[in-house]
Structure 1
Amino acid sequence: MRQQFTPNRHPLRSAIRFFSTSALIVAGSGLLSSALHAAPRIIEEVIVTANKKAESAQDVPLSISVVGADFIQESGLSDVGEITRYIPNVSFDSSLALYTSITIRGFGTPPLGVGFEPSIGLVIDDVPYGRSTFAQDAVFDIDRLEVLRGPQGTLFGKNTLGGVLNFHTMDPTSEPEGFIKFGHGENIESNNVEGAISGPIFGDNFLGRLAFRYNDADTLEYNSTRDEQQTQEDKAVRLKLSWFLSDTLTANFTGLYAESLTKGYTQSLFIASDRSMRVFREYDPQTEADAYDQNTSTDAPTRSDREVKAASLSLIWRPDELMGITAPELTTIASWSEVITPYSLDVDYSPVPLVAFNEPPKGNPYTAEAIEVRLAGGLDAPFDWGEGMDFVVGVFAQESTNDVFQDIDVSLNGLIAFARAGAIVQNIQLPFDPLLIDLPISLPDLIPGIIERERYISATQSTTQSFAIFSQFNWILTDRLTATAGIRYGEDESEGSSYSRVAAGASISGGSLNQSDFSAPNLKNKETNVSPKLAFNYEITPDVNVYVNAAKGFKAGGFDPAPLNDNNLTYKGEETLTYEAGIKSRLLGGSLTLNMAVFDSDVKNLQIRTFSGVTLTTFNAPESSSQGAEMDFFWLPPIDGVSLAGSLAYLDAKYDSFTEGPPLFTSEQNQTQDLSGKPLPYAPRWSGSLSPRWEFPLFGSADLLGSVRMNISYTDERYLDSDIDPNTLQDAVTRTDIGLGLRSESSDWSVNFQARNVTQEQDAVLILDQPLIPGNYTKTPHPDQTTYQLDFRIGF
């Protein structure tokens, strides 16, 4: 009998309580403001580039959220995951560099997708990046983050099935300026520094900006088996140059180098049988199954590093007139990027020396070279219908290479220990541990060293060439009605090879790992796609717009990265069709922005990456869907210094048809299960945030300002693995962060204090089966302790 979705809490009730409280705060503030009869304050217009041109966010006919530099700076945010916590229907995780994942409206990049193309687009300073892990390099010296929800294939291309994260970092300035920020954290011991210097280099026509970041931290995890503290180190530098070659021609260059070093892995035992714990404690008496006690017990060296190099050059030509086009802008962008993610992992998540992933010799490099040429401008209205038209047309070409290599060591003595602990070894599970006693020391090695270890290697190399032609036209039919039509034609052609083999001699443990020797030297995949878009935007009043749109998105298929067998060497491309309707408004005299949207998405061949308890496998779910609604607002009530921001999202994302989905890992070793009708993983039904802030003068001084702020975020329960195992259901979480600030209005210095997770909520990123042992689980937790951070920033 198929298991049914049976939540162990009442998420709707929790959501109602949370948002009822939020509504009371809003209503209470409104009553107070009405009583004061103060003049309304005006929210500044937010400019975005969602349509490859600068325009007001309120005029863009799609669901978009913008997080600016002020909020990021005051809240002390230096991680994309912390930023997206306050954006409806968006989640981001980079707890491990090679497994970075993003989801929007339930669709996204699988968290176990090393070497996997993303399903959410990532654009930094108008340059697309082909791996989600690049996102962390945009957070320092940041100007804003635009989150575009829904397919964005027309202008941003493939791999934008669920949306786009569109980052903008600070540009060079015409006047000398800069800043430096120092920070210190407690409970997660950390020290960080960030800074930038900007201004003219040669005259007024050649400008530059140099920004950097450095962070050194001890994580909360201590490895008792190896007697070592887990640490993180992160550094990055970015150079931006702008050269005004003439009144009409500008050249921009961006160069980036970033490196992060992480020792340790926060995947800890979460559920483990008494039988397993008895065996594990023979190797480390401190082993436990509490993922939140800041202790882990793994024997093999574990680290996850990342090295990024990127460069881009753009030429922007803005002649006064070109072939009858008004305000023409011809943009050419050439870019190159590379990310290397060397790692070594203890993937049995125990103190038993069983399975270890050794560092790949090349570090799993991904490189991409791309060029885009586009022309934007205005035209007269076709057939003299309407008031005019603006457009973007262009071409895009890219070549990317991907190299994923796995080097796996298996200890046969460790395999014997795991068999005692309840593992399935060679399709056999011992009904009980033959040694039903606790041993004060480890068992002697039963198999001599010369034959005790077995080594497996597997790899996938691929090269993909992509080409696209795209266009989008905004037809201003009346002073209130605008129609948008766009289309993109793309081709993706991939060639690659995969293999897996036992490195030396025959294999004893290969059957337990589902490993088999194979070679597939001539993998090929070619796909073409047409992604159209149609939208209408109607201005009801100068401050209220309604819109509807329909758009398709596409992500090409590919080759399974470094598989241990040839059961699933390739996976199909995925495609979505999304309908959306929304309203964007500026109310109360311009003091309140309120935006709402509803959407309906259907996806064919959704790509799912899952861990079966033995190995990682890529599946295609034939039919999936996502329906829901989202709302965000920002309000400046007529109380000096007070502001209130918030969001609310509802999401119903599920597998519609998935009769051969990934199975639950049990002793029966089923090959598949029917997941039709089950919810998609990592997709909470309700989510939201509320961020009140009050800034006020201190000691009667208009120059010295203090501030108090609170960030509250709610995330409903959701499954944290693709097989929708009831044991991977994460409870709903309401997290509260509190901040205090002090700044000078004239001297450009500030001090900010943050207390995060003051309610000590227990949240997690991922829950997986422990390899080989049915019924045991591991978890990647967020810290459940309250952490503190103090930042001092001075500008010059």
Structure 2
Amino acid sequence: MTRHLRSLNRSADTAQRALRPGNGRSKIAQAVSLAVLTGAASAPLSAQKLEEVVVTATKRSESLMDVPLSITAISGAETRLLNLNDIKDLISFTPGITGNSKDSFLDTVSVRGIRTNLFGNGAEPSIGFYVNGLYQGRTGSAVSSLYDIERSEVLRGPQGFLFPRGAVTGAFNVMTQKASVEDGLSGYGELDVGERGVLVFEGAVNVPLTDNLAMRIAGFHTEEDGYVKNLAGGPDLIGHDSDSLRVSFRYETEKLTGDLIFQYDDRNRDGSIYQVTGEGPNFNGPSLLFLNGGEPFEVARGTQTNSNDRVGQRDEAEVFSLGLVLEYDLGWATLSSLTGYKDHDYEYGEDYDGLPITLYEYEQFQSGDYIEQELRLTSQSDGPLSWYAGASVYKEDIDTLFGAIQEEDIYCDLYLNYYYAPDQRGCTGFYEDYLGGYYDFTASTNGLINDYNETLGTYEGYSMYFEVGYEFSQSFDMTAGIRYSYDERDYSNEKLPDIGGSQFGGGISGMSETPEGPVSDSADWDAITYRVAANWRPNDTTLLFGSVATGYKPGGYDVYGFENNATGTAVAGPALPGRDRPADFDEETITAYELGYKGRLMDGRVQLSVTAFLYEYKDLQAFFSEQNPDGPGTRTVGDNVGVLDGWGSEIEVNAALTDNVTLRLGGSWLDSEANDVQPFCGAAVDLGASEDACEGEPLPLAPEFTFFAVLNGSFPVGDRGGELFANLAYSWEDDSKGDWIPEDLSKQTIRFLDQTDIVVGYQEEDWSISGYVENVFDNNWVDGTFGESFDGTPYAQFIFGPSRPRTAGLRASINF
């Protein structure tokens, strides 16, 4: 743990250099040094005051308490202490953000209730993930490992004026440790061993090469056996075995600083694990679909599933990234250049139905590359005027194969027998009598409907932005920023032939055939967004701020649907190149308002941040089901739906309770309502509810309350300079309904996060050892829920992502 102190001192030196006169707002920065946010147990307090935390989210190095934004900073020391292994783990200790699922998908991540409602690659995520300011992309490439981290900055609300792409609801920006010329030959290593084969190693070595050049090599390995028992047989699930390597170089002169960073990730884990609830008509109604020889399937509880896992559980990716960040001091301004390149290959597989039958198995094969370039000028002035301006460009190529696999007999039971021949089972013996040959049925060679489609996308865009700030007095200033964004999509979609020869066409997705090859289209979107903020500092310890900001996410394309070019209506039958196009949807937009307070209280022993917010989110890009125009059953459609309104508040407190004990806690409250969301309301209407039954309903998977607390202690012992340290961390999210349908109809309330962790250890100058227990009370919760019965009754048929059980282990670290 002593390594934390060294890294903090090194970071403080770096921050002080960044904040020297002529490099940003020096009037704020002269006395500021970077240390852990109060949660770093290994850093005892000095003079009973909290150290200031420096962040760079505003393109300048500023104290966290002086930044007029809703932002949470988590140090690298706290990241290791709390055992946060990937970028989504930051969610548990950030107010207002929820949805840390155990897979690499981003669609459960919710910022103030808004989440990505499309899983296909014809659109992009609503939340932006960045490392060293470089965009990390989408599912399959965005979830990076957290190791050898300097700090993480998590921002809530639209952040398009600060980041080049993908931050319409918020942004995660992780800053890795950089190579250092001043630190000499130094490094650390940490080993973690625990129950169920837990083995984690993290380490780094810093090597000066010349007076101006240094290299840093950091590595990370994590593995764990599965903890979900499969009642259908096979190995336990939700295990992982992943590696990452980062090599970085820093070159420094009086005016130029350059960081070149290579990183390779090899991620291997299981896909999401699904469980049936055993509730609703699918299980206790007249249908025999979910029965096994006349008896119900065994219902999995807790850390169990009952899955035949036909496609193979996997969530695997190889990701290579390259980043080059340059800063040059022009005297009157700082010129920054950010260049990023990322290449990834990704495979995913899950048993979506969570049953020992092949009702719906899902898999995805994806490859892509991404390149970006940003140039920025940031003013250097001690006067009242400050500004920054820049431009960015990007290009992405993405190739994705989506697969949905289903047994033919089950398809017939689910979509045909139920409606046309309820006394029949399987796919034979009733077509002439009931369907008049509507389906030209020929059994597949393996009894499966293999429903695959391939989407290809080339996405390009650019943006230009400018922000200016003016100090009208020592206590009052304002900033105003504007951004122009342009995005272009070239996209094609092709339904591939069923490799088993099934004649059921679209199967689960209801997707049209494309007998003449890929159907393609091009479109572009642009927008002007802005932010205006006013900041009042009545004294040296208080900041009051207010802002209005707008955000935009470009439109895109549906992963399954097609439209006729001439009429714009959904295609019924084959989709043909030239005549038809992939179904598209328009951009999403948000207007958000914030009022905030930040204060240093009790002579610097307490730091308090409170934010109130209000937003209107229009034209949500979302999937929903509608009647299939090409046959019985439904099909999945992606389109713009609704107007979402949200309001609430967030609070964070950092306190030095004594010279040796610190507390960091935070929480959020959210109220929301959705309107014009009739497409989500079909199941409620089927039950006799009015067509507007879903109007005014709160957003799904958006807990009303969240809370976390981190209590740390550090106590000197003996005459060797050693310390006993302890950490108690708690994270909690309120229950939430799992669908848009009213709760009294949907019966889909689910339990979210409720976890307590404890760490106790001893450290000296060059080593430390500690023991930990995570999820101390062995609580159980899930990542989410979905599903309604095939007769339209909206029950929570399926839940996914059972929580990790109580886990104990030991950690040891050395520093040199």
Would you say 1:161 and 2:175 are equivalent positions? no
Counterpart of 1:235 in structure 2 is: 243
Structure 1 residue identity aligned to 2:605:
S
Cα separation, 1, equivalents of 2:213 and 2:706: 46
Counterpart of 1:535 in structure 2 is: 533
Q: Equivalences for 1:15-34 in 2 at 5 Å? A: none
Counterpart of 2:698 in structure 1 is: 679
Moved more, 643-652 or 494-503: 494-503
RMSD over equivalenced CA pairs, Å? 3.2
Q: Equivalences for 1:124-523 in 2 at 5 Å? A: 124-131=131-138, 134-174=141-181, 175-186=184-195, 188-200=196-208, 202-230=209-237, 231-244=239-252, 246-263=253-270, 265-272=272-279, 273-274=283-284, 282=292, 287-302=297-312, 303-319=314-330, 321=331, 325=332, 328-357=333-362, 363-379=365-381, 387-415=383-411, 419=413, 423-425=414-416, 428=419, 450=445, 452-500=447-495, 502-503=497-498, 507-508=503-504, 510=506, 513-518=509-514, 521-523=519-521
Cα separation, 2, equivalents of 1:197 and 1:276: 65
Q: Equivalences for 1:577-588 in 2 at 5 Å? A: 577-588=591-602
Aligned-partner SS, 1:687: strand
Percent of residue pairs identical: 21
Q: Equivalences for 1:700-779 in 2 at 5 Å? A: 700-701=718-719, 703-721=721-739, 727=746, 729-731=748-750, 735-747=754-766, 749-769=767-787, 775=795, 777-779=797-799
Q: Which runs of 5+ in 2 are unaligned?
A: 1-44, 427-440, 564-569, 572-581, 627-632
Structure 2 residue identity aligned to 1:313:
L
Cα distance 1:512–1:411, how it changes in 2: closer, same or farther (>3 A)? same
Is the 1:277–1:288 Cα contact (8 Å) retained in structure 2?
Answer: no
Cα separation, 2, equivalents of 1:342 and 1:653: 36
TM-score scaled by structure 2? 0.82
Counterpart of 1:13 in structure 2 is: none
Is the 2:105–2:139 Cα contact (8 Å) retained in structure 1?
Answer: no
Cα distance 1:634–1:310, how it changes in 2: closer, same or farther (>3 A)? same
Is the 2:613–2:647 Cα contact (8 Å) retained in structure 1?
Answer: yes
Moved more, 543-552 or 423-432: 423-432
Cα separation, 2, equivalents of 1:45 and 1:39: 12
1:590 to 604, 608, 632: 604
Give the CA deviation at 1:530: 0.6
Cα separation, 1, equivalents of 2:372 and 2:453: 29
Cα distance 1:70–1:283, how it changes in 2: closer, same or farther (>3 A)? farther
Give the CA deviation at 1:646: 0.7
Cα distance 1:378–1:203, how it changes in 2: closer, same or farther (>3 A)? closer
Q: Equivalences for 1:46-65 in 2 at 5 Å? A: 46-65=53-72
Give the CA deviation at 1:724: 6.0
Give the CA deviation at 1:254: 1.0
Is the 1:192–1:213 Cα contact (8 Å) retained in structure 2?
Answer: yes
Would you say 1:790 and 2:807 are equivalent positions? no
Cα separation, 1, equivalents of 2:356 and 2:705: 38
Superimposed CA distance per residue, residues 261-305 of structure 1 (whole angstroms, 9 cap, x where no aligned partner)? 224541122235147998667489995323414233224032221
Superimposed CA distance per residue, residues 476-517 of structure 1 (whole angstroms, 9 cap, x where no aligned partner)? 221111211111111111121123254376723746652322
Structure 2 residue identity aligned to 1:392:
Y
Structure 2 residue identity aligned to 1:711:
A
Is the 1:714–1:732 Cα contact (8 Å) retained in structure 2?
Answer: no
Cα distance 1:523–1:771, how it changes in 2: closer, same or farther (>3 A)? farther
Is the 1:225–1:284 Cα contact (8 Å) retained in structure 2?
Answer: no
Counterpart of 2:617 in structure 1 is: 603
Is the 2:561–2:638 Cα contact (8 Å) retained in structure 1?
Answer: no
Counterpart of 1:19 in structure 2 is: none
Cα separation, 2, equivalents of 1:340 and 1:536: 45
Aligned-partner SS, 1:343: strand
Is the 2:96–2:706 Cα contact (8 Å) retained in structure 1?
Answer: yes
Give the CA deviation at 1:409: 3.7
Cα separation, 2, equivalents of 1:263 and 1:546: 46
Superimposed CA distance per residue, residues 99-131 of structure 1 (whole angstroms, 9 cap, x where no aligned partner)? 564221111323745564111122211212222
Cα distance 1:584–1:447, how it changes in 2: closer, same or farther (>3 A)? same
Give the CA deviation at 1:679: 1.1
Is the 1:120–1:164 Cα contact (8 Å) retained in structure 2?
Answer: yes
Is the 1:58–1:585 Cα contact (8 Å) retained in structure 2?
Answer: yes
Cα separation, 1, equivalents of 2:774 and 2:403: 39
Is the 1:292–1:784 Cα contact (8 Å) retained in structure 2?
Answer: no
Give the CA deviation at 1:98: 4.3
Cα separation, 2, equivalents of 1:95 and 1:497: 30
Give the CA deviation at 1:155: 2.2
Is the 2:460–2:489 Cα contact (8 Å) retained in structure 1?
Answer: yes
Superimposed CA distance per residue, residues 65-117 of structure 1 (whole angstroms, 9 cap, x where no aligned partner)? 11112222222221334332121101243422245642211113237455641
Cα separation, 2, equivalents of 1:691 and 1:728: 34
Give the CA deviation at 1:250: 2.6
Is the 1:410–1:509 Cα contact (8 Å) retained in structure 2?
Answer: no
Aligned-partner SS, 1:53: coil
Give the CA deviation at 1:524: 2.1
Aligned-partner SS, 2:721: strand
Aligned-partner SS, 1:530: strand
Q: Equivalences for 1:553-632 in 2 at 5 Å? A: 553-563=551-561, 569-610=583-624, 616-632=636-652
Cα distance 1:642–1:355, how it changes in 2: closer, same or farther (>3 A)? closer
Aligned pairs, how many?
723
Q: Which runs of 5+ in 1 are unaligned?
A: 1-37, 381-386, 436-445
Is the 2:783–2:801 Cα contact (8 Å) retained in structure 1?
Answer: yes
Is the 1:172–1:242 Cα contact (8 Å) retained in structure 2?
Answer: yes
Give the CA deviation at 1:354: 4.4
Cα separation, 2, equivalents of 1:285 and 1:573: 48
Cα separation, 2, equivalents of 1:253 and 1:771: 53
Cα separation, 2, equivalents of 1:723 and 1:198: 55
Is the 1:94–1:133 Cα contact (8 Å) retained in structure 2?
Answer: no
Give the CA deviation at 1:162: 1.2
TM-score scaled by structure 1? 0.84
Cα distance 1:143–1:453, how it changes in 2: closer, same or farther (>3 A)? same
